[in-house]
Amino acid sequence: MRDNLDLLPPPPPPLEPGRAAELLAACDVRDAILAVTPCAGGITNANFAVTLAGGRRVLLRVYHWPHQEPDLERGRKEAFLHEFLGTAGVAVPRVHGVAANGECVVLEWINGERLRDIAPGTKGVESAWEEAGLALRRAHELPPLFDRAGVIVGDHLEPFEQPWGEFHASLIRAHARKLRTLERISGAQLARVQALSELASRALGHDARVRLLHNDPHAANILVRSAASRWRLAAWLDWEYAWMGDPEWDLARFDVFTRAQVGAVDSAFWRGYGARPDPAKRGFYELHAMLWFGSFPNPRPSSLIEAARAYVADLDRNLDVLSA
């Protein structure tokens, strides 16, 4: 591990075996339980490694939702998307069962390490970056599940109320207003952001190519493992926030989020994907993401929130670049 990484949330409290058995049974997994071990990480869910009779391990994910927005029916959503992605050759965990009430899901246990935890320069790690880029490209090239941009809820789409470009522009304005209320930007900076949001709306377009988006892509959501003399992709994790929209949104977020966590994205990732983010769009997508995260509280060490606040602190220069 390196010092500049986000700290994962602590593991959830231990889960009593009887309660674990109830949750697994709700997902139609009824094997005897040998052990239940809380896993670190998970802000909107609690994860447990469960060892079943015969030694098989599974991941039990218990959902919770601390936000005001409606839940995304994430159990059904993960089952729906993982089947779609898996049959197309994109590495994702298999879903063994979903509780009818949406409370939890049981996923295949995959041994591996988060890509962000593998030190740059580690022998053979470039192959894992390249395979991760190729897998994301395959996901983006799949036939569209839906023909409009929006958020996937369960196995259906909730379309955005605005065209893609204006959707992002309106959120840029909303996050800027929140930052102004928090007195993190000036009135003059708010006015500049509002003016630039019109450029963003046009640059991001009304006819962006609509494809399946991960929507939370970064090196912490990529699981890799060592194999012989190189590292291999084990799985892309956490599709629970997936959207339909412009693939450039995923590329820009991967670049911005991964830079905050581990530094520059390994060039092998872009080689695997086959392209780098479009400069004409990346800056506006970065503006959206940085204003959003810049308005967050900081309850625990987070390199992403720190990067966003640094971006906001240097907002005038960043806006100058977008205006050029």
pLDDT tens per residue across span 221-251: 999 999 888 999 999 999 999 999 999 999 9
Mean pLDDT computed over every residue of the chain? 92
Domain boundary among 108, 138, 173: 108
- Phi/psi for 220 (5° steps) reads -80, -15
Of 52-56, 63-67, 209-213, 283-287, give the lowest mean pLDDT range: 63-67
19-66 pLDDT tens trace? 999 999 999 999 999 999 999 767 788 999 999 999 999 999 999 877
| CB 295, CB 175: distance < 8 Å | yes
Verify that 128 and 268 share a domain, yes or no: yes
pLDDT value for 164:
95
Reported confidence tier of residue 207, pLDDT bands at 50, 70, 90 = low
Q: Which domain holds residue 72?
A: 17-108
- Written as one letter, the residue type at 109 is W
Of 74, 108, 142, the one marking the end of a domain is 108
Whether 119 and 233 map to the same domain: the answer is yes
Residue 98 falls inside a structural domain = yes
In the predicted structure, residue 193 carries a pLDDT above the cut 70: yes
Judge contact between 288 and 175, C-beta under 8 A.
Answer: yes
Residue 236 lies in a domain: yes
| C-alpha to C-alpha distance for 170 and 176, rounded to whole angstroms | 10
pLDDT of residue 298: 64
pLDDT at 4 > cutoff 60:
no
CATH number at residue 85: 3.30.200.20
CA proximity to 44, closest of 75, 83, 3: 75
Residue 132 has a pLDDT of 98
Q: Are residues 62 and 131 in the same domain?
A: no
Asked whether residue 10 carries a pLDDT value surpassing 70, the answer given is yes
CA 197 from centroid of its chain's CA atoms? 24
Q: Are residues 299 and 251 in the same domain?
A: yes
Residue 5 scores a pLDDT above 60 = no
On the question of pLDDT at 69 being above 90, the answer is: no
> What are the tokens at 248?
């450039």
Residue 177 domain flag: yes
What is the 3 state secondary structure string of the chain?
Answer: CCCCCCCCCCCCCCCCHHHHHHHHHHCCCCCCEEEEEECCCCCCEEEEEEEECCCCEEEEEEECCCCCCCCCCHHHHHHHHHHHHHHCCCCCCCEEEECCCCCEEEEECCCCEEHHHCCCCCCCHHHHHHHHHHHHHHHHHCCCCCCCCEEEECCEEEECCCCHHHHHHHHHHHHHHHHHHCCCCCHHHHHHHHHHHHHHHHHHCCCCCCEEECCCCCHHHEEEEEECCEEEEEEECCCCCCEEECHHHHHHHHHHHHHHHHCCCCHHHHHHHCCCCCHHHHHHHHHHHHHHHHCCCCCCCCHHHHHHHHHHHCHHHHHHHHHC
> Do 27 and 155 have their domain in common?
no
133, two tokens: 């880029």
Q: Exposed, middle or buried, 137 (CB in 10 Å: 0-12/13-18/19+)? A: middle
Determine, yes or no, domain membership for 276: yes
Domain match, 222 and 73 both: no
39 within a domain of the structure (yes/no)? yes
| 142 shares a domain with 97 | no
pLDDT of 1 over the 50 cut: no
Give the pLDDT mean for 267-276: 98
pLDDT tens sequence across 136-175: 999 999 999 999 999 999 999 999 999 999 999 999 999 9
CA distance to 183, 219, 313, 316, per residue, from 186 (Å) = 7, 34, 11, 10
| pLDDT confidence of residue 296 | 85
Cα–Cα distance for residue pair 194/199, rounded to 1 Å = 9
Is 1 contained in some domain?
no
Does a structural domain hold residue 2? no
CATH number at residue 137: 3.90.1200.10
**Residues 210 and 264 occupy one common structural domain:** yes
Q: Which of 45, 75, 108 delimits the end of a domain?
A: 108
**To 10 degrees, what angle do helices 279-294 and 164-181 make?**
40
Count Cβ atoms below 10 Å from residue 248 Cβ, excluding itself.
Answer: 22
Asked, for residue 12, whether it belongs to a domain, the answer is no
In b/e form, how buried is each residue of 189-216, taking b as 16+ CB within 10 angstroms?
Answer: bbebbeebbeebbebbeeebebbbbbbb
Do 82 and 146 belong together in one domain? no
131 and 209 both lie in a single domain: yes
Domain count, the chain: 2
**247 and 271 assigned to the same domain:** yes
> CA-CA distance, 71 to 74, in Å (whole number)?
7
pLDDT at 3 over 70: no
d(CA 93, CA 110): 7
Residues 217 and 125 in one domain: yes
Predicted model pTM:
0.93
